[in-house]
Structure 1
Amino acid sequence: MKPGHDQYVHRHANGLCIIGLASTHIAFKDEGGVTSVDFNVGKSDRSGLKVTGKRKKNALHFESNTELCKACTNDASYIVRCCVKGSLLEVNDRLIKKPELLNSSVGVLTLTIQTVSCVSFDCANNCDIGMADREGYIAIIMPKPADWVKAKATLLGTEEYRELRKDILPL
Structure 2
Amino acid sequence: MEASGKTTEEAPMTTPPAAAPTPAVEATTPTATAAPAEPEQKLVGKKRRRERKQALKKTQLCRHFDKPTGCPYPDCVYAHGLDEIQDGGAITVSAQRKLLREQGAQRQNDKFIVSTKDAKDAPVAEYVARTGSMVDRYYTRLYASDVLEKPFEDQFVNMHSNRLCVLGIAPGHAIFKDNLTVTKVEFEQSVLDNKVSGKKKKGGVWFNPQSIVCRIVCANDVTYSIRSCIRGALIEFNERLLETPELVTRKPFTEGFLAIVRPKPVEVAEIQASLLKHADYVALRGLTDPKVFQ
Q: State the superposition RMSD in angstroms.
A: 1.7
TM-score, structure 2 as length reference: 0.45
Q: Percent identity?
A: 37
1:90 match: secondary structure: strand
Q: What is the distance in 1 between the residues matched to 2:164 and 2:264?
A: 9
Q: What is the distance in 2 between the residues matched to 1:140 and 1:63?
A: 14
Q: Structure 1 residue 170 and structure 2 residue 266: aligned?
A: no
Return the index of the structure with the highest Cα Rg: 2
Q: In the alignment, what sits opposite 1:95? A: 241
For these two proteins, the number of residue pairs brought into alignment is: 141
Q: Structure 1 residue 83 and structure 2 residue 229: aligned?
A: yes
Q: What is the distance in 2 between the residues matched to 1:74 and 1:143?
A: 34
2:203 pairs, out of 58, 65, 77, with 58
Shift of 1:97: 0.6
Asked if the contact 2:190/2:205 (under 8 Å) is kept, the reply is no
Change (3 A) 1:29 1:165: closer
| More helix per residue | 2
Amino acid at match of 1:159: A
Structure 2 unaligned segments of length 5 or more: list them.
1-147
| Structure 1 outlier segments of 4+, above 4 Å | none
Q: Which moved more, 1:24-33 or 1:54-63?
A: 24-33
Q: Structure 1 residue 71 and structure 2 residue 219: aligned?
A: no
Q: What is the distance in 1 between the residues matched to 2:227 and 2:152?
A: 13
Q: In the alignment, what sits opposite 2:271? A: 151
Q: What is the distance in 1 between the residues matched to 2:265 and 2:181?
A: 35
Q: What is the distance in 2 between the residues matched to 1:161 and 1:132?
A: 16
Q: What is the distance in 1 between the residues matched to 2:177 and 2:285?
A: 14
Amino acid at match of 2:191: R
Q: In the alignment, what sits opposite 1:133? A: 253
Shift of 1:21: 0.5
Q: What is the distance in 2 between the residues matched to 1:99 and 1:38?
A: 9
| More strand per residue | 1
Higher relative contact order (CA 8 A, sep 6+): 1
Q: Spell out, residue by residue over 1:80-120, the C-alpha distance to the aligned partner (whole angstroms, 9 max, x if none).
A: 0101101001010110110010111xxxxxxxxxxxxxxxx
Shift of 1:57: 3.2
Change (3 A) 1:141 1:49: same
Q: What is the distance in 1 between the residues matched to 2:279 and 2:169?
A: 18
Shift of 1:148: 2.1
Asked if the contact 2:155/2:170 (under 8 Å) is kept, the reply is yes
1:163 match: secondary structure: helix
